Amino acid sequence: MAAISARNRPSGRKKGDQENSAAARPWRLRILLVTLLLSLSFSGYWLTRPRPDADELLEAAKAALHVGDDQSAVRILDKLLSHAPENGQALLYRGQLAFDREEHEAAYSFFHRVPDSPASLGSQARYAEGVLLVAQGFGRAGEQLLQRALELDPSSVAARQRLVELYLAQMRSADVRKQLDAIRYLRPWSIDELVLYTIVGAQPGNRQNGPEQIERFLDAAPDDPPMRLVLARYRFADGRVDEAIELASPLLDNQEYAARAAAIIADSHIHNQDFGAAAHVISKLGEHSQPDAAVYRVCGRLAAEYQDWDTAVACLAEATKSNRENLETAHRLGIALSRLGAKAANDQLQYATRLDHILRQASRLPNRNANAPEPMIFIMLDVANTLIEVGRPRDAAYWYDQILTIDSTNEVAKNNLSKALSVASNSLDASKAPTLDEMPTIPWDSMLAYARNKGTTIQRPSNDSRGLEVAVQLRDVHDESLLTFNYFNGDTGMKYLLESMGGGVAVLDFDQDGWPDLYVTQGCKLPYDPADQEYRDRLFRNLGDGTFRDVTELAGLGCNRYGQGCTAGDFDNDGYPDLFVGNYGANVLYKNNGDGTFDDITLDSRITGDSWTASVGFADFDGDGNLDLYVVNYLDALRVCRGVDGRIAACDPQNFNGQQDHLFANLGNGEFSDITSQSGIEVPGGKGLGLLLADLDYDGMIDVYVANDGTPNFLFRNVSRDGIIRFEECGLTSGVAVNGDGQSEGGMGIAFGDLDNDGLEDLYVTNFLDETNTLYRNLGGMLFHDVSRQWGTDDASTHMVGFGAQAIDFDLDGRSDLLVANGHIDDFRFRDEPWKMASQVFRNMGETLRDVSPTCGEYFLNQGLGRGVARLDWDRDGDDDAVVIDQSGPAALLSNETRDKGNWIAFRLQGRHANRDAIGARIEIRSGGKIWRRSLVSGDGYFSSNERVLRFGLGEANDVRDCTVVWPHGQIQRIETPQLGSSLTVVEPPSSATRIWR
């Protein structure tokens, strides 16, 4: 008899099978009994026969079990054990039956009675005891029994698998790899095991089941120091920092664990922005304490907060030496190097990006459909090749070998496997990570002394003066305003990813009557039929009486392609805003004729392209006074994808190649020239959705920020000279390519505004489910810092799929709030993911952003599939409203009905030497010791274009003492004593005209 764990079954089970196995419920003991295919009767004969021998009774018990008669099996086995109490096989079977009846003490007793000899039975018994003890919360004792099982039978894959699970829950990455190495010598790895081996150094622990298991272990042994530390790390990872501190604090007096405890506590204090407390905890470690990489890492974070970049580099370099795979440390080291202007910065940041890529790509495989091997092999080759790039050829060889088990004819895998093995076997696999040898070092005692010198907290000035006494109120008035529009996504049933992304909205005053109008993009049936006019883009004219009128046909508009993003801009400087529409397929440029009509001039303009266009934007990149055009392109094709269960589902964007963005220079004669190839924007890895065109470093030239979906975001710094448009990509070194932990995210929408009122405008990027929307604080000089945790935007966005976003000061208190539209890309409720989601309002409290959505009106109590969001003052009452495109219902017009708002002033700018829309200009206002800065930008939101108005909420300020316009060419114009509550049009000098437009 050979009792075998369910975890020892061959790999490759379907998901449904996994969910009912020990693989899906790793602590459930289930020993499969090998049965004989016997057609025996197991009636009372075996119990009444005088003194049957043990073998006959055992066979009878097996036969009973074979047909599911557990009661007869129990009686037979009990009789056998009454005559042969040390029969190992009988004890194992009897223990299993007791366990199935949830008689755990009896089960343990039976297993415990099995002697170690013979080793095969002893190993199975110790394994069963160990699994049972672990299930009951006795982790240490269970681990010892599992190790004893391996001493008796080193070939026990089942015991090694249980230890992998146990070590993973305890974040013991090295032990996980040790057991996986041993398993590989006993049998081929499953894909799940290969993935785990690859990423466990970068992503220790099991956040899904680990915390619950560690809690059970602590219930049984509350004072177990390693278990307390592990649970504290889980709590910190989940943002429950107070619990993390509580768990780790008692261990500060334990010399063996004090350093690790201090690291967790200090991390938690940094999370809470209490830097002095973090330094104090580290400083209390004795000089004779053992150096610890985690403490060095935290010291590096702390030094970065103090902007002491030399110390940050030294500490982070020390931390990196112990684990070159740790993504967060590698990324933070790269950022610190970039702040010093070190040559090694770019290499270090690129290395961290590759680590992130390995983690993201490898993590996709466990949920892949095994019946669709081609996408799997594509992903696996990508992971293997990237492992080569980071200097891990031996690990890459494992991936190439796994590919060949799926497709033995794959020539790429064959060739690369040979090369990888050659490099590894010749000891040439020195890490390709940037060398640490030339980086500064900091001895342990010096690091502790540094912490002692940082005993005070960095105090940021609090602006939280108004509290929540003013409640933001937004009411959806689309119905009463006659704004009737429903986005049609194609509804093919094929769930093309295209069907999940649209649509967009552009705000423009197309007839120059002073009232903002709306252009909305529409989808169409797929495949596209040029003759089908059922679904078309729409233009809604604002009549100024509280209603809109659909004037699409009168205006000569009505594109019937599959619409995505759109933008408005006066590209020919004739005083009337034109339209550019991004589609799946050919894009369209409409010229505003100035008489209420538009002409399609796409062919005459020489704008080309038939890609899947996402966001689009106009801006003057070379300062010639003409608006150029930036086109963000997304993915390369339509494709039908299926989940693990075989059902059609929206595709993962990682299954596609990204499309190259395009840049068209405005020649000033109605024509554009495609300058993509010579402009510097041809950078691999782009899968763009969101776009922002803004002067991010205030040097007078418009830069380009692109939110990529699942790959690092792009920041193209404008380095144009002598009329030649040129960009340099600097997203990583600027700190806006990935989040603060070095992880790329599913970027979609971009909001732009000075959230902390320091005079520098910040970036807010919406991301995918189980990611946080990321707030990048502008530090000046094209440097940004992820402050999502400090500002509280992480927890409120983790369970959302964010799309459109806008920075809007709803209550005009002088602080920009945030509006975010949410909604998943497909209905994944069968896997416990939300589908329709409520939009959110984040109230700016001065140093945090608070989700106040449930109190903002009925609209925010309903769920939908929000996409494009644009900002406008549709009723010209002085405050900003918003329009939200929704895939599950009508577009919403959110009218701002907040009471007791602050004072305000608004500006419309008109360029003369600069582009007429004045994109790139900014206004600075000073009053009462405060400063406000607003820039006129293009593209922010998601697939949308805002009203070209700069509105300032001034709170309780009674006047404006200093108002300055900085035009795109750098010319400064001062506006004398503008009246509060007025909307002004300012014309670029030499006209120096200022007039009230309403």
Residue 211 has pLDDT above 90, yes or no: yes
70-74 long-range CB contacts below 8 Å, 24 or more apart?
70/97, 70/100, 72/42, 73/97
pLDDT of residue 50: 47
The tens digit of pLDDT for each residue in 154-175 reads: 999 999 999 999 999 999 999 9
**How far is residue 771's CA from residue 793's CA, in Å, rounded to a whole number?**
11
The tens digit of pLDDT for each residue in 544-588 reads: 999 999 999 999 999 999 999 999 999 999 999 999 999 999 999
Identify the residue whose tokens are 């709803």.
810
Are 785 and 776 in contact by the 8 Å Cβ rule? The answer is yes
pLDDT of residue 664: 99
Contacts of 868 (CB under 8 A, 6+ apart): 502, 503, 504, 505, 565, 803, 804, 821, 884, 885, 941, 942, 943, 944
pLDDT of residue 43: 38
The pLDDT of 383-411, averaged and rounded, is 95
Could you check whether the bond before residue 747 is cis, i.e. omega within 30 degrees of 0?
Answer: no
* Beta sheet of 714-718, edge-to-edge order: 688-694, 703-708, 714-718, 727-729
The pLDDT of 82-93, averaged and rounded, is 89
Residue 198 has pLDDT above 80, yes or no: yes
Are 518 and 542 in contact by the 8 Å Cβ rule? The answer is yes
| pLDDT band per the 50, 70, 90 thresholds, residue 20 | very low
**What distances in angstroms separate CA 706 from CA 353, 563, 753, 760, 852, one per listed residue?**
17, 19, 16, 19, 28
Surface-to-core class of residue 974, CB atoms within 10 Å of its CB (0-12 exposed, 13-18 middle, 19+ buried): exposed
Percent residues over pLDDT 90 in the chain? 74
Surface-to-core class of residue 118, CB atoms within 10 Å of its CB (0-12 exposed, 13-18 middle, 19+ buried): exposed
- Could you tell me which of 893, 896, 906, 903 has the C-alpha nearest to residue 927? 903
Are 620 and 683 in contact by the 8 Å Cβ rule? The answer is no
What rounded mean pLDDT belongs to the chain? 90
**How far is residue 134's CA from residue 138's CA, in Å, rounded to a whole number?**
5
The tens digit of pLDDT for each residue in 374-394 reads: 678 989 999 999 999 999 999
Which pair of structure tokens corresponds to residue 349?
Answer: 């940041």
Could you check whether the bond before residue 118 is cis, i.e. omega within 30 degrees of 0?
Answer: yes
- Partner residues linked to 777 by β-bridges: 785
The tens digit of pLDDT for each residue in 500-539 reads: 999 999 999 999 999 999 999 999 999 999 999 999 999 9
The tens digit of pLDDT for each residue in 306-356 reads: 999 999 999 999 999 888 999 999 999 999 999 999 989 999 999 999 999
HEC string for 114-158? CCCCCHHHHHHHHHHHHHHHHHCCCHHHHHHHHHHHHHHCCCCHH
pLDDT of residue 23: 35
Which pair of structure tokens corresponds to residue 570?
Answer: 């006066």
Q: Structure pTM?
A: 0.88
Question: Would you tell me the crossing angle of helices 327-339 and 344-364 to the nearest 10 degrees?
Answer: 160
Are 355 and 325 in contact by the 8 Å Cβ rule? The answer is yes
Are 854 and 881 in contact by the 8 Å Cβ rule? The answer is no
- Could you tell me which of 200, 259, 249, 199 has the C-alpha nearest to residue 228? 249
**How far is residue 977's CA from residue 955's CA, in Å, rounded to a whole number?**
17
Residue 465 has pLDDT above 60, yes or no: no
The tens digit of pLDDT for each residue in 659-702 reads: 999 999 999 999 999 999 999 999 999 999 999 999 999 999 99
- Give the 3-state secondary structure of residue 661: coil
- Partner residues linked to 945 by β-bridges: 506
Residue 431 has pLDDT above 60, yes or no: no
The tens digit of pLDDT for each residue in 269-315 reads: 998 889 999 999 999 997 778 889 999 999 999 999 899 999 999 99
**Domains annotated on the chain, with CATH:** 4-199 (1.25.40.10), 474-910 (2.130.10.10), 922-996 (no CATH)
- The stretches of 238-372 forming alpha helices (DSSP H) are 241-248, 258-271, 275-283, 293-305, 309-322, 327-339, 344-364
| Range with the poorest average pLDDT among 409-413, 426-430, 440-444 | 426-430
Residue 25 has pLDDT above 90, yes or no: no
Question: Would you tell me the crossing angle of helices 88-100 and 104-113 to the nearest 10 degrees?
Answer: 170
